[in-house]
Amino acid sequence: MIKNISFLKSLKQDISLMKKAIGVFDSGVGGLTVTSRIINYLPRENIIYFGDTAHLPYGSKSKKTVTRFSLKITHFLIKHNIKLLVVACNTASALGLNTLRQKFSIPIVGVIKPGAKAAISATKNKKIGIIGTDATIKSDVYKKALQKFDPKIKVYNLSCPLFVPLVEEGWINNKITHLVATQYLKSLKNKAIDTLILGCTHYPLLKGVITRVMGKKVTLIDSAEETAKEVKYLLHKQNNLIIQNNHKPQHKFFVSDAPLKFKCLGEKFLKRKIASVKKVEL
Ligand code: DGL
């Protein structure tokens, strides 16, 4: 009897959760670095990803524009019955997260706070560098988040706008990328930072080059790991994790333009094969 009840419970959850997924969005492929970590932490979960490839880059756009795009994408994902939203884009997290939280009632996880939290745990000398897009750096959100955890933290901000196109081009480990990184990061080298936040979805792919320039003593913080932990924590707290061992997760990918390019580059970011990518107009 008890066995039957628990079987029925599990069946009921299976049916209701089949439709429910974690929604993730980014301006393009970059958010797949976060998605990859979510899949590692939560291998049974369904995921619906939206890459706004028609509007990339967000990093050079205004708050108003990025917020408008973010609202449209969130509407789209909510129509797909998501149970939690991850704003995997640092720029959209920096500029649009508050508006999204005001307009929608589902749990929304951004990448700024988890990244700041990880940096605070890593730093010993309380000197933290942040690199990101122009928009993220100008917004100062990382500095605010870090100093909320610890007002004594010294923060050094730097935008590195050329990193995104270099990664998009697949120039992850070549001479030109090394030269660009050397030029950008030289202003951070004499600040004695011991921790550097990679405040952009694309930068984790440049970890090798950045370590070569900054030296091994500087800890690189990639918000993806902490963000995935936060997603797991929230879903667990709400009793909303898929618990069936035999559940086959569905991963769906949507873009606003160039699905083939997304698929090819996306597999590098995701470190997995992507079965198909659908183009949609919002
Ligand atoms: N996804 C963006 C971010 O993390 C980088 C690419 C862009 O500028 O759109 O800030």
Rounded Cα distance, 24 and 82, in Å: 9
Q: Give which of 215, 182, 220 is closest to 198, Cα–Cα.
A: 220
Domain co-membership, 106 together with 233:
yes
Domain co-membership, 171 together with 35:
no
List the strands of the sheet with 195-199, edge to edge.
154-159, 127-132, 195-199, 219-222
**Quick check: is 216 in a domain?**
yes
Rounded Cα distance, 208 and 188, in Å: 17
Rounded Cα distance, 32 and 267, in Å: 9
| Cβ contact 221:199 at 8 Å | no
| Cβ contact 220:196 at 8 Å | yes
Amino acid identity, position 63: K
Rounded Cα distance, 77 and 63, in Å: 21
Query: Which residue lies with its CA nearest to atom 7 of ligand 1?
Result: 57
55 lines ligand 1 (CB under 6 A): no
| Annotated catalytic residue 264 | no
Helix or strand holding residue 251 (H, E) = strand 251-255
Termini Cα distance of the chain: 49
201 lines ligand 1 (CB under 6 A): yes
In this prediction, residue 9 carries a pLDDT of: 55
Domain co-membership, 53 together with 21:
yes
Query: How many domains does the chain contain in total?
Result: 2
Domain co-membership, 153 together with 218:
yes
* Host domain of residue 191: 113-223
| Annotated catalytic residue 89 | yes
Domain co-membership, 94 together with 24:
yes
* Centroid of ligand 1 to alpha carbon of 250 (angstroms): 25
Which atom of ligand 1 sits closest to the CA of residue 55? 9
Domain co-membership, 184 together with 196:
yes
Cis peptide before 114 (omega within 30 of 0): no
**Quick check: is 3 in a domain?**
no
Q: Which one of the listed residues 29, 77, 89, 130 is annotated catalytic?
A: 89
142 lines ligand 1 (CB under 6 A): no
We report the CATH number of the domain holding residue 163 as: 3.40.50.1860
In this prediction, residue 248 carries a pLDDT of: 86
pLDDT values of the chain reduced to their tens digit, one per residue, 282 residues: 555 665 555 545 544 544 599 999 999 999 999 999 999 999 999 999 999 999 999 999 999 999 999 999 999 999 999 999 999 999 999 999 999 999 999 999 999 999 999 999 999 999 999 999 999 999 999 999 999 999 999 999 999 999 999 998 889 989 999 999 999 999 999 999 999 999 999 999 999 999 999 999 999 999 898 999 999 999 999 999 988 777 789 999 999 999 999 999 999 899 999 999 999 999
| Cβ contact 133:200 at 8 Å | yes
58 lines ligand 1 (CB under 6 A): yes
**Quick check: is 5 in a domain?**
no
In this prediction, residue 245 carries a pLDDT of: 74
Which atom of ligand 1 sits closest to the CA of residue 91? 10
DSSP string, 151-209: TT-EEEEEE-TTHHHHHHTT-SSSHHHHHHHHHHHHHHHTTT-SEEEEESTTGGGGHHH
Domain co-membership, 84 together with 159:
no
Residue 72's Cβ-count burial label (10 Å; 0-12, 13-18, 19+) is middle
Domain co-membership, 128 together with 214:
yes
